[in-house]
Structure 1
Amino acid sequence: MTLHQESNRYTIPSGEHIVTIRNRKRMDMTSIKAIERFDQEEFFIHTSQGHLLIRGEELRIVHLDVDKGLLTLEGNVKLMQYDEEDSAAKGFIHKLFG
């Protein structure tokens, strides 16, 4: 398993994106490209379907397979939200130029 680190950012190969949540306590995800930041209350993950924000309590990584782009989290999941990959860039440019 090879983990590529670029200043607190872990790059993971991509594929088909699937998320499975069991009882709001365990999440299995595929097609994870990068874990951009995380702590016990928030994960910000780059997936093949855009950025995924996960908020909760006592969140932790249980399994990470960098070669396959797999991630398993455990904790109390309270929120999951997707943003399009380039929506932040579009928003910034739109604010500058209207």
Structure 2
Amino acid sequence: MTLHQESNRYTIPSGEHILTIRNRKRMDMTSVKSIERFDQEEFYIKTSQGHLLIRGEELHIVHLDVDKGLLTLEGTVKTLQYDEEDSGFSKGFLHKLFG
């Protein structure tokens, strides 16, 4: 099992995307392609279904299986937002600023 890191980007193999949230405290997901960035309040993840932005409190990685593209997070989940694969949240943000 190898986790490839290019600056702050971690690349993970992909497959079918399934997301499970238990009591807004634990999140399991499959088909994670890469973790673009993360901290205790925000995770930005590339999945087979597009980019996923997760916002919350005290978010942290509990389990990561690079070979299978599995990720488990714990913390308080407040917001989930998907964006299309090719548009990205950064582009949307810059477009809103500079139109």
> Matched residues in 2 for 1:33 and 1:86: separation?
14
Q: How many pairs does the alignment contain?
A: 95
TM-score by length of 1: 0.89
**Residue 17 of structure 2 corresponds to which residue in structure 1?**
17
Equivalent residue number for residue 62 of structure 1: 62
Query: What residue in structure 1 maps to residue 29 of structure 2?
Result: 29
Structure 1 outlier segments of 4+, above 6 Å:
none
Structure of larger gyration radius: 1
Cα deviations by residue, 1:26-75 (Å, 9 ceiling, x for unpaired):
00000000000000000000000000000000000000000000000000
Consecutive unaligned residues of structure 2, counting only runs of 5 or more, are none
- Normalization by structure 2: what TM-score? 0.88
State the Cα distance separating 1:86 from its structure 2 match: 0.8
Counterpart amino acid of residue 51 in structure 2:
H
Q: Which amino acid aligns with 1:29?
A: M
Unaligned regions of 5+ residues in structure 1, if any?
none
The aligned counterpart of 1:44 is 44
**What secondary structure, in the 3-state scheme, does the structure 2 residue paired with 1:13 have?**
coil
